[in-house]
Amino acid sequence: MTEPPRPPGDATPDSGSEPTTPLPPTYSAPGGAASPGYVPPPAGGYPPPPAGAGYPPPTSGAGYPPPTSGAGGYPPPPGGFPPGGYPPGGAYGGHPSPGYANSDEKTWALLAHFGGPAGVIVGGGLLGWVAPLIALLAKGGQSQTVRAHAVAALNFQITWALAMLGGVVLAIISCGVLFFVPFVIALVPIVFGIIGGVKATEGTLYRYPMSVTMVR
């Protein structure tokens, strides 16, 4: 019996006219039969890798080398290091007043100047030299700045303490007629002592007028 003619391109599977492309293997649902092309793992599982396989352990001393001093170390800051090193007394954080290396110097300098008027008021015009002398003995050997302020205030207060003694003697000799002289004399170390303290606050060494240099 003769097979009726087929349309062009309609070939039977066994005719060999067109190649058959195999479908890619697919995975089956859990519990179902494995799809063609899937190789199940062995019954005992895959064997472990042999000893020593994989990445080698880190060796002793490995890592980044430490920074070295001098050549090959960390580069200097932009602009270089300041001459003489960094200033003492925390000048990069505390910002001390101009003319002082730290706040401790400023405190003692102010004590030397403002302590003079306080001593004049408390001591009847005769103890203005006490505070500058304390500042000189306590910090004068450690700081040239404190010593300069203390010496200037000390010479001025000693000068006017002696002037106060002369005024008291003059008031006594005049039988009280010149009683106002000691009060006028006492105003001088008070006023100029305050001026010296204000200048010291600004970081300036005040040169007292009408002062005899007795301590250097």
* Residue type at 28 in one-letter notation: S
Share of the chain above pLDDT 70, in %: 57
Q: Which of 28-42, 76-90, 103-117, 192-206 has the lowest mean pLDDT?
A: 76-90
Task: Give pLDDT, residue 93.
Answer: 36
pLDDT digits (tens, 9 = 90+) for 51-79: 655 666 656 555 555 555 555 555 666 66
Rounded to 10°, the helix 144-173/130-139 angle is 160
Distance, CA of 52 to CA of 109 (rounded, Å): 75
Instruction: State residue 163's pLDDT score.
Output: 95
Least confident range of 28-32, 57-61, 82-86, 113-117: 82-86
- For the full predicted model, state whether its pTM sits above 0.75: no
pLDDT of residue 159: 96
The per-residue pLDDT for 99 is 78
pLDDT class of 94 with cuts at 50, 70, 90: very low
Which among 159, 148, 158 has a CA at the least distance from the CA of 205? 148
How far, in Å, CA of 144 to CA of 133, rounded? 15
Overall average pLDDT of the 109-121 stretch: 96
Burial code (b: 16+ CB inside 10 Å, e: under 16) for 12-38 equals eeeeeeeeeeeeeeeeeeeeeeeeeee
**Both tokens of residue 99?**
């003319």
Query: When comparing pLDDT for 98 and 114, which is higher?
Result: 114
Tell me what pLDDT residue 124 has.
Answer: 87
From the centroid of its chain, how far is CA 215? 39
Q: Judge whether 205 and 211 are in contact, CB under 8 Å.
A: no
Tell me: pLDDT of 146 over 90: yes
